[in-house]
Amino acid sequence: MNKPIAVMFSAALASAPFVAHAQKSKPRDAYYITKEEVDAVNKTPGIDRTIRVMDIGNEHFSVGVIHRGPTTAAAPTAPATNTPACGTAEANPPKDLTAGLTHDKQTEGYYVISGEGVLVTGGHIVNGHMDPADSEVATILNGPTCRGVIGGADAVKRFVKTGDIVIVPPGVPHGWADVKDHVDYLSFRPSGDALPAGYVNPAIKK
């Protein structure tokens, strides 16, 4: 046997267990989430409720159902102690800025299933702080997240209603500005490493 070919053949054999293991981890079937499961999770307390996080081979994929009630003019929640600052520091930002956040690694797709409101996207985060690394947002929902208010002349306000779809790439600020009653939406989140595969919401876990 030609020596270079023999070396390559030997290397292939040596790596065969690794290759077999990698192939074994690939999904072999589809995932199903029923309307009943979505409804069950949507009845649980809280705003952002993950339904499932699934391993799709090259990345993880999360589906959640989010409920937001009427927006208020209240200032964004004070950051936890000793959380790193992020975004742009401004000494005197305008008082009417919308509370918002941005995710370092996480894309979000929204499909509005009921309600309506104004979604603010783009611009930049002003006077932000990172969510604690051990928080639910960082460990289950969205990975590293910067939270503050949305500023900048390039911020866009769009009225969003039932049936609309919105895609928010990583690093794009987003927040709700004018929800009169409520807005409920499914959130689809593909992620390389931000979310743990295998999570199932306790409301539907059997």
pLDDT at 52: 93
| Per-residue tokens: 80 | 């936890």
pLDDT at 5: 37
pLDDT at 87: 93
pLDDT at 141: 78
Q: Domain 32-191, what architecture?
A: Sandwich (2.60)
The secondary structure of the chain, three-state, reads CCHHHHHHHHHHHHHHHHHHHHHHCCCCCCCCCCHHHHHHHHCCCCCEEEEEEEECCCCEEEEEEEEECCCCCCCCCCCCCCCCEECECCCCCCCCCEEEEEECCCCEEEEEEEEEEEEEECCEEEEEEECCCCCHHHHHHCCCEEEEEEECCCCEEEEEECCCEEEECCCCCEEECCCCCCEEEEEEEEECCCCCCCCECCCCCC
pLDDT at 57: 85
Q: Provide the whole-model pTM.
A: 0.78
- Among 86, 55, 73, which Cα is nearest to 193's? 55
pLDDT at 123: 96
Give me the residue spans of the domains in the chain.
Answer: 32-191
Mean pLDDT, each 10-residue run in order, the chain (206 residues):
41 39 64 94 91 89 93 62 88 90 92 96 95 79 89 95 97 95 94 78 90
pLDDT at 67: 93
pLDDT at 14: 44
